[in-house]
Amino acid sequence: MSFRRCASLWARLPPGRQPGPRAAICSALRAHTGPFLGTLGRVPAVACASSSASGGSKAPNTSLFVPLTVKPQGRSADGDVGAELTRPLDKNEVKKILDKFYKRKEIQKLSADYGLDARLFHQAFISFRNYIMQSHSLDVDIHIILNDICFSAAHVDDLFPFFLRHAKQIFPVLECKDDLRKISDLRIPPNWYPEARVLQRKIIFHSGPTNSGKTYHAIQKYLSAKSGVYCGPLKLLAHEIFEKSNAAGVPCDLVTGEERVTVEPDGKQAAHVACTVEMCSVTTPYEVAVIDEIQMIKDPARGWAWTRALLGLCAEEIHLCGESAAIDLVTELMYTTGEDVEVRTYKRLTPIFVLDHALESLDNLRPGDCIVCFSKNDIYSVSRQIEIRGLESAVIYGSLPPGTKLAQARKFNDPGDPCKILVATDAVGMGLNLSIRRIIFYSLMKPSINEKGEKEIEPITTSQALQIAGRAGRFSSKFKEGEVTTMNREDLSLLKEILNRPVDPIKAAGLHPTAEQIEMFAYHLPDTTLSNLIDIFVDFSQVDGQYFVCNMDDFKFSAELIQHIPLSLRVRYVFCTAPINKKQPFVCSSLLQFARQYSRNEPLTFSWLQRYIKWPLLPPKNIKDLMDLEAVHDVLDLYLWLSYRFIDMFPDASLVRDLQKQLDGIIQDGVHNITKLIKISEAHKLLNLQNSSAESQSRLSGTVKSRTRRNHGTKALGSKAAEPLGSGAGEKSLASRLVQQGLLTADMLKQLEKEWMTQQTEHGKGRTESGTSLTGTRRKKKEPDSD
């Protein structure tokens, strides 16, 4: 190093600190790097206390901390100052020093005190080592320390401050854990709604089973009030109250996620509003509020909306309608707000009976019957079998547009229509007025997704069974008493057991982070993805025992889907809260396309949307076409939902709504002819409703029969059940059910068939005559169309 360069560097040091070059340089470095733990010698043990330690809070789940990338330093314009002041570093020596640093137990313990568990410590060290080894020039301070360690003038532990600084760069959450815990503190949620806390609200709980008149009494109070808000779980229910209110001469607006309807000619808001529960205003004052289906406060995904409405609505009277299982929880929650709960109990208006015999065959159907299935495949197959018997059926399932559901309900309810049978999923349990005499459970097993996102098949709960069974013999229908039974004799005892169980009391209410809380989180962790932010927020969150944080898997799915698209955090948050069916690829790709267009500042016009969905669309020719049309309807719903959040970028909501009505008509025609679509789909092998190798049932029956009896709810495999559905029986084989429930694929079934046949061939000589005959029968069935 030249004398002039050395003098220049020397002159930068503070006066009075130049007796020794190393001490002087390090003194100057402390000014911008902060004090080391001790001097340049060994790190004292007493210096291990961490200011960011989490003092008593639960330890965070560090697997959620995603390391950021810190790029190695390139060549500096000022040259390698550290090398000029000391000497160039020997990379082999440096690597040995770093390895020694990593293996020291004292360093690992000290790191743990600063929040770096074994996993984070390892990741941070790998990043730190790569940074040191791959940088062309290092900062002066760390270069000097490494040089001193090489010459035994410093201890390897003196690297720790630099390692910790690097660890906080790649894991910024370590720097702000206390702030993040404060932001994600979800305790005392009543304090989030100061406007409601000013009021002394009167809480009235209308408790009773389905068809007890509880909602009717609440709605009467709503209609007689000067102002009111109805909060329902479904668009259909909001529409029903909207229509009833206006028909009764009480002007009422409609607000759902996808629709805003004002009835006043000047566009002014009416004093009454019917809305979906997520859309209710917690700042508008009302005289009366009605919160329907309050037991859904426990819903793993949507429960937060009922909690928000219960705690936040600014109404003098709040009428809650729902199951008695929610009374204790609501009373506890209102105790924290200083409000009393008045409980009004109702009994069912018409009797309902559980029959002592199962239906057993579709030949025994009667007018007014509703067969409840828990899968679309069962819906299709049962509809087809009913049509074979010369009967006509209406069909209702969850993914149908609301207009189509209402049209099918009108068809079933119309005394002059030949359609007297309804085939439906549990969608009939809420939101539709149906004239049903008898509910028939086709199965008691319902697919569900557990907390880990895994698919499970479990018996329906008591609450679900009561909700569905209660649709039979409603007070407003022509049937003055209801009946309930099952398709299979083996399920009947389980149904009775389920219906007789007490409904478990609801223990906790759902909560959900707000956009503001996520924004504050992002301020501290600016380089973290939104999906990862949500994970960390939920992990850091603290809730009282009466609350839980709702499942946010759908939100995270959308966040990961659009992560690569440049959007502001608030806009990204709104896109991720858009309700989409993630099982529909076209709907998911549409969310992605809409976000991409938005990021380019290109408005999504009506003409653009028509091109995108390839309008005009043809009537469905098979079931696949019908499902595609349902997906397009969901895409139009998504457009309308976004149009009320981003008016400028989604400007043609009224035109899209008219287009959606046309599409609804096309879907209605398709559903009206659904048995024809099923027949065509079967002919072209687009839909597999026949038993996948009917012989598989008899093959497995001996093994499974005892197990199914133990598991309650799985259909036993008697002689009736052995008949294939395609041949006219009301039941399906075990193999067919496993395929439809997603537990067995067609390929797996073929492999099982192949392995069984191989085994039979190997042991065929030792078989009895009956066994040989059975094998021959199976081979014969395999030949024509078993696939």
State whether the Cα torsion 108-114-118-122 is positive or negative: negative
Q: Which amino acid is at 162?
A: F
Q: What is the pLDDT of residue 756?
A: 67
How would DSSP label each residue in 170-237? H-GGGGSHHHHHHHTB---GGGG-HHHHHS--EEEEEE--TTSSHHHHHHHHHHHSSSEEEEESSHHH
Q: What is the pLDDT of residue 755?
A: 67
Q: Is pLDDT larger for residue 49 or for residue 203?
A: 203
Q: Whose CA is closest to 391, among 372, 353, 360, 417? A: 417
Distance CA 467, CA 485 (A): 14
Section 43-49 average pLDDT: 35
Q: How far is CA 522 from the centre of its chain?
A: 22
**Helix or strand (DSSP H, E) at 509:** strand 509-511
88-137 pLDDT, tens digit each: 999 999 999 999 999 999 999 999 999 999 999 999 999 999 999 999 88
How would DSSP label each residue in 709-747? HHTSSSPP--TTTTS-GGGT-S---HHHHHHHTTSS-HH
Q: What is the pLDDT of residue 23?
A: 42
Residues whose CB is less than 8 angstroms from the CB of residue 766 and which lie 6 or more positions away in sequence, other chains included: none
Distance CA 147, CA 772 (A): 85
Share above pLDDT 70 across residues of the chain, in percent, rounded to a whole number: 79
Confirm if 171 and 67 have CB atoms less than 8 A apart: yes
Instruction: Identify the band that residue 59 occupies on the pLDDT scale cut at 50, 70 and 90.
Output: confident
Q: Is the pLDDT of residue 26 over 70?
A: no
Section 606-622 average pLDDT: 95
Q: Is pLDDT larger for residue 699 or for residue 609?
A: 609
Distance CA 612, CA 602 (A): 14
Which whole-number Å values give the CA distances from 383 to 386, 390, 602, 721, 732, in the listed order?
A: 5, 11, 45, 18, 14
Q: What is the pLDDT of residue 734?
A: 67
Q: What is the pLDDT of residue 736?
A: 66
Beta bridge partners, 422, equal 370, 394
Q: Please give the angle made by the CA atoms of 338, 342 and 346, to the nearest 5 degrees.
A: 155
pTM check: above 0.75: yes
Distance CA 767, CA 779 (A): 16
Confirm if 157 and 38 have CB atoms less than 8 A apart: no
Instruction: Identify the band that residue 763 occupies on the pLDDT scale cut at 50, 70 and 90.
Output: low
Furthest CA-CA distance within the chain: 108
Section 279-304 average pLDDT: 96
Section 420-440 average pLDDT: 92
Confirm if 323 and 503 have CB atoms less than 8 A apart: yes
Q: What is the pLDDT of residue 676?
A: 86
Q: What is the pLDDT of residue 729?
A: 38
Section 297-302 average pLDDT: 94
Would strands 445-449 and 455-459 be described as parallel, antiparallel, or unpaired? antiparallel
Confirm if 233 and 293 have CB atoms less than 8 A apart: yes
Lowest mean pLDDT among 174-178, 394-398, 445-449, 760-764: 760-764
Both tokens of 120, joined, read 């984070």
Share above pLDDT 90 across residues of the chain, in percent, rounded to a whole number: 69
Section 563-581 average pLDDT: 95
Lowest mean pLDDT among 34-38, 368-372, 420-424, 453-457: 34-38
Burial of 141 (0-12, 13-18, 19+ CB in 10 A): buried
Confirm if 163 and 278 have CB atoms less than 8 A apart: no
Q: How far is CA 183 from the centre of its chain?
A: 23
Packing angle between helix 530-540 and helix 553-561, nearest 10 degrees? 150
Q: What is the pLDDT of residue 780?
A: 36
Q: What is the pLDDT of residue 18?
A: 37
Instruction: Identify the band that residue 11 occupies on the pLDDT scale cut at 50, 70 and 90.
Output: very low
How would DSSP label each residue in 157-176? GGGHHHHHHHHHHH-GGGGS
Residues whose CB is less than 8 angstroms from the CB of residue 516 and which lie 6 or more positions away in sequence, other chains included: none
Section 413-441 average pLDDT: 92
Distance CA 220, CA 207 (A): 16
Q: Which amino acid is at 543?
A: V
Residue with tokens 């040259």: 79
Distance CA 398, CA 408 (A): 13
Section 644-657 average pLDDT: 96
Section 742-761 average pLDDT: 64
Task: Evaluate the omega torsion of the peptide bond into residue 566 and state whether it is cis, within 30 degrees of 0.
Answer: no
Confirm if 487 and 725 have CB atoms less than 8 A apart: no
Lowest mean pLDDT among 12-16, 190-194, 476-480, 540-544: 12-16
Instruction: Identify the band that residue 687 occupies on the pLDDT scale cut at 50, 70 and 90.
Output: low
Q: Is the pLDDT of residue 346 over 90?
A: yes
Question: How many H helices and E strands in the chain?
Answer: 31, 18
Q: Please give the angle made by the CA atoms of 96, 102 and 105, to the nearest 5 degrees.
A: 125
Mean residue pLDDT of the chain comes to 83
Distance CA 627, CA 677 (A): 11
Q: Is 344 helix (H, G, I), strand (E, B) or coil?
A: strand
DSSP symbol at 318: E
Ordered by where they begin, the domains of the chain are 62-170 (1.10.1740.140), 201-345 (3.40.50.300), 352-500 (3.40.50.300), 552-682 (1.20.58.1080)
What are the start-end ranges of the E strands in 78-174? none
444-455 pLDDT, tens digit each: 999 876 655 567
Both tokens of 611, joined, read 């091109």
Section 73-100 average pLDDT: 88
Q: Which amino acid is at 453?
A: G
